[in-house]
Amino acid sequence: MENTVRAAVLSGDATRPDIVEVELAPPGHGEVEVIISAAGVCGSDLHVARHDWDVPKPVVMGHEGAGVVSAIGPGVTSLKPGDHVVLSWVPSCGNCRQCLRGRPWQCELAASVVAVGGVLFDGTSRWHRHGETLHHYLGVSSFAERVVVPETGAIRIREDAPLDLVTIVGCAVATGVGAVQNTAKVEAGATVAVIGAGGVGLSVIQGARLAQASRIVAVDSNPMKFDVARRLGATDTLDSSSVPDPAAALRAIVPEGLDYVFDAVGLTQTTELAIAALGLGGAAVIVGLPPQGTHASFDPLALAEANQRILGSNYGSVDPHRDIPRLVDLHMEGRLDLEAMVSGRRPLEEAASALDDLEQGRALRTLLVMDAPGTSGANG
Ligand SMILES: [Zn+2]
Ligand SMILES: [Zn+2]
């Protein structure tokens, strides 16, 4: 028997979702149903709303969420109703070559079926409306009161963790801290710059602080973000809109060039800046995702002579079952500040306004809190 739930649905010709009632089928084999407590609004959601990427539509939006398991489908053994979970946007099949290599964040079936098809692992959707099939987004679709996800896309966490805040561990924090710890393996004493001080960039800054980097330079075109960046560990800041040559300005801060530069924005110019600002043996880490079809250039001779590297980091190279509970623990131990990254809480009805805030640089992370009584918009 299908549930009727409110959800944010983006149709093929719209740039903002409508909040409508949709039908959600019960969990199938190897799937679980989760009542969403809160969903985070991420830069990738803006790419979806701008149609920068080929995402099957209509789609129930959202890929960052946390909540409580409310039902389990046949064959589910690792979760039970009542479990608290953070959702992962790369569920893993456990059987493909990448899963068998111990790289669940590169699961081939999650990429080829779930992400590309907008469906669950069996190739079908649980979402319908007036007889029409709607698509899942990355197997999560957290901008909804209730969702059905693959069992491996719901990561059980400790029950004393605040279910609204830990939502952002599912994308921003996993992506940012994971890029530092798993992809780049930043060592103590290293010098780091982070381009973009939004949800992912601030998570990179926190990861660099946890790694005991000696310098952490926050680069952003909006200096309003620097207070939070400093509180989370940035030692230096650079307003890239105030200088003609940001690479030269970075070199003025760290004259020998940087050991690691993280591009948490994903634009041609930010990727090129990340490479240009490297010192000897440095690594540029591409974390922010660009629109489809863009290109960046670099000087390969300089790269080779300086033993530099360019690293792609998708989802922070995290093993969700290993890393998400660990990141929640770090928060509960007071070592990872999640509240500082949340700039506002809004009800689901205001999903479109939350996207506006993000697009116009007024928000860090906005949480869409299900059944929230009041409104609290962006404040920086
Ligand atoms: Zn995201
Ligand atoms: Zn797999």
* Shared-domain flag, residues 107 and 230: no
- Whether 332 is in a domain gets the answer no
* Shared-domain flag, residues 91 and 191: no
Closest ligand relative to 152 C-alpha: 2
Q: Each residue of 99-140: pLDDT tens digit?
A: 999 999 999 999 999 999 999 999 999 999 999 999 999 999
- Whether 194 is in a domain gets the answer yes
Residue-level pLDDT at 35: 98
Residue 271: which pLDDT band, with cuts at 50, 70 and 90?
Answer: very high
Distance from the CA of 179 to the center of ligand 2, in angstroms? 21
- Whether 102 is in a domain gets the answer yes
Give this prediction's pTM: 0.94
Residue-level pLDDT at 324: 98
State the residue range of the domain holding 269.
177-314
* Shared-domain flag, residues 151 and 196: no
* Shared-domain flag, residues 121 and 35: yes
Inform me whether the pLDDT recorded for 224 exceeds 90: yes
CATH number at residue 198: 3.40.50.720
166-180, 211-225, 297-311, 359-373: segment of lowest average pLDDT = 359-373
Closest ligand relative to 99 C-alpha: 2
Inform me whether the pLDDT recorded for 330 exceeds 60: yes
- Whether 81 is in a domain gets the answer yes
Distance from the CA of 96 to the center of ligand 2, in angstroms? 4
- Whether 274 is in a domain gets the answer yes
Residue 374: which pLDDT band, with cuts at 50, 70 and 90?
Answer: very low
Residue-level pLDDT at 176: 98
* Shared-domain flag, residues 347 and 284: no
* Shared-domain flag, residues 136 and 219: no
* Shared-domain flag, residues 144 and 41: yes
* Shared-domain flag, residues 188 and 307: yes
Distance from the CA of 280 to the center of ligand 1, in angstroms? 31
* Total domains in the fold of the chain: 2
Distance from the CA of 200 to the center of ligand 1, in angstroms? 8
Inform me whether the pLDDT recorded for 379 exceeds 90: no
Residue 372: which pLDDT band, with cuts at 50, 70 and 90?
Answer: low
Closest ligand relative to 63 C-alpha: 1
CATH number at residue 31: 3.90.180.10
- Whether 358 is in a domain gets the answer yes
Distance from the CA of 100 to the center of ligand 2, in angstroms? 7
Inform me whether the pLDDT recorded for 293 exceeds 80: yes
* Shared-domain flag, residues 193 and 283: yes
Closest ligand relative to 94 C-alpha: 2
Distance from the CA of 169 to the center of ligand 1, in angstroms? 10
Residue 287: which pLDDT band, with cuts at 50, 70 and 90?
Answer: very high
Task: Please identify every residue annotated as catalytic.
Answer: 42, 44, 47, 63, 171
pLDDT, the chain, mean: 95
* Distance from chain centroid for Cα 187: 23
Q: Each residue of 24-47: pLDDT tens digit?
A: 999 999 999 999 999 999 999 999
Inform me whether the pLDDT recorded for 81 exceeds 70: yes
* Shared-domain flag, residues 184 and 130: no
* Shared-domain flag, residues 349 and 293: no
Residue 375: which pLDDT band, with cuts at 50, 70 and 90?
Answer: very low
- Whether 149 is in a domain gets the answer yes
**368-372 average pLDDT score:** 85
**346-356 average pLDDT score:** 97
* Shared-domain flag, residues 152 and 258: no
- Whether 377 is in a domain gets the answer no
Residue-level pLDDT at 36: 98
Q: Each residue of 63-78: pLDDT tens digit?
A: 999 999 999 999 999 9
* Residues by chain with Cβ below 5 Å of ion ligand 1: 42, 44, 171
Inform me whether the pLDDT recorded for 1 exceeds 90: no
Distance from the CA of 57 to the center of ligand 1, in angstroms? 18
Residue 371: which pLDDT band, with cuts at 50, 70 and 90?
Answer: confident
